Amino acid sequence: MRSADQEVLSAAAAWLEQGDAVYLVTVARTFGSSPRPPGSLMAVRADGEFAGSVSGGCVEDDLAARLAARVGPQRLPAIETYGVSAEQTHRFGLPCGGRLELLIERLESAPPIRALLKTMDERRCCARRVCLATGDVSLHPGIVHEPFQFDGANATRVFGPQWRLLLIGAGQLSRYVAEMALALDYHVIVCDPREEYAHAWTVNGTELDGGMPDDVVRARARDARSAVVALTHDPQFDDLALLAALTSETFYVGALGSRANDTKRRKRLADLGVSPAQLARLHGPVGLPIGSRTPPEIAIAILAELTAKRHGRRLQAADAEMEAPVAQMAVSCGE
């Protein structure tokens, strides 16, 4: 399964290779309430077919129709604004009086788009810069968490590898986490060397790796767009993965278990040479304290914490009333 960005760029490249005229639309700025953040992408074919989204369905059809009829800006790249007037806001359903500024480009050929996709497939970051005055497009090394930038003259969008989630253990909880993570645009890999669990794994769109957890982490989940979550309840597997993950650049490392088991786990890892700074990266018990008890609820808690971490959100400590259910949540999974 490819990321949303990869799907949009792949569609654009394929259309260009077929000889179609293709436009690339990027959310440049938003004002008020907007369903899609700056940097969101949409590719539009000359006949009105499109891939991606810039407003969650509010303006896509109108924009595609206008580009297909060539009614949009005559000089490209250019900025097109939606939601300027109350009538337009009502017509296109922009919520809460929001306004969108969209950067519209006419793509010339497929090779530059294929080059961008290649860097993403190789798990490298690439910054694509567009100059509105000249239309020049250039590619530069990018930084993983660098936000979209637009100053009115130049727009810079960092394209990186797909976010990757490595789950240790192919049990029931992993199934719920994997299914939800796919919807959140993660490339999901499930590692479990136990044959009885591996044979029962049936989640389409994920990869199953039967290697030892530490080897799989080192080979497939060491960069800053990867997360590792240990869910087997078995220290001989979970601890191996955590030892490798805590010494890597992964943006998130978590492990399921009660607070008592988390304390024991941290002592084991410290005895094996994991430093206090590295141990401080470990999220355990994993997930936000939302009172989760069932596997689907625990999966939501895990992915909510992952989402906050992915977007650089600092979460306030939960109060004692909320912490209690989390301390118990591993019990419902058999620990």
Cα–Cα distance for residue pair 49/66, rounded to 1 Å = 12
Query: Mean pLDDT over residues 170-190, rounded?
Result: 96
Q: Which residues contact 125 (CB under 8 A, 6 or more apart)?
A: 119, 141, 142, 143, 144, 146, 158, 159, 160, 161
Q: What is the pLDDT of residues 78-89, one digit of tens each?
A: 999 887 555 555
Token pair 């419902």 is at which residue? Answer: 332
* Radius of gyration, alpha carbons of the chain: 23
What is the chain's percent helix, strand, coil content, to nearest 5? 40, 20, 40
For tokens 């394209």, name the residue: 159
| Mean pLDDT, all residues of the chain | 87
Which pLDDT score, from 0 to 100, does residue 86 have? 53
Q: For residue 203, what are its two tokens?
A: 């989640």
pLDDT attached to residue 288: 94
Query: Is residue 176 within 8 Å of 299, Cβ to Cβ?
Result: yes
Q: Cβ neighbours of residue 3 under 8 Å, at least 6 residues apart?
A: 120, 162, 163, 185, 187
Cα separation, 318 vs 324, whole angstroms: 10
Domains of the chain are 4-159 (no CATH), 164-333 (3.40.50.720)
pLDDT value for 314: 77
- % of the chain residues with pLDDT over 70: 87
| pLDDT per position as a tens digit, 32-79 | 766 788 999 999 999 999 999 998 777 888 888 888 887 555 678 999
- How far apart CA 69 and CA 66 sit, in angstroms, is 5
275 pLDDT exceeds 90?
Answer: yes
pLDDT confidence of residue 6? 93
Buried b (16+ CB within 10 A) or exposed e, 268-293: ebeeeebeeebbebbbbbbbbbbebe
pLDDT exceeds 70 at position 22:
yes
Q: What is the pTM of this model?
A: 0.81
Q: pLDDT tens digit string along 221-253? A: 999 999 999 999 899 999 999 999 999 999 999
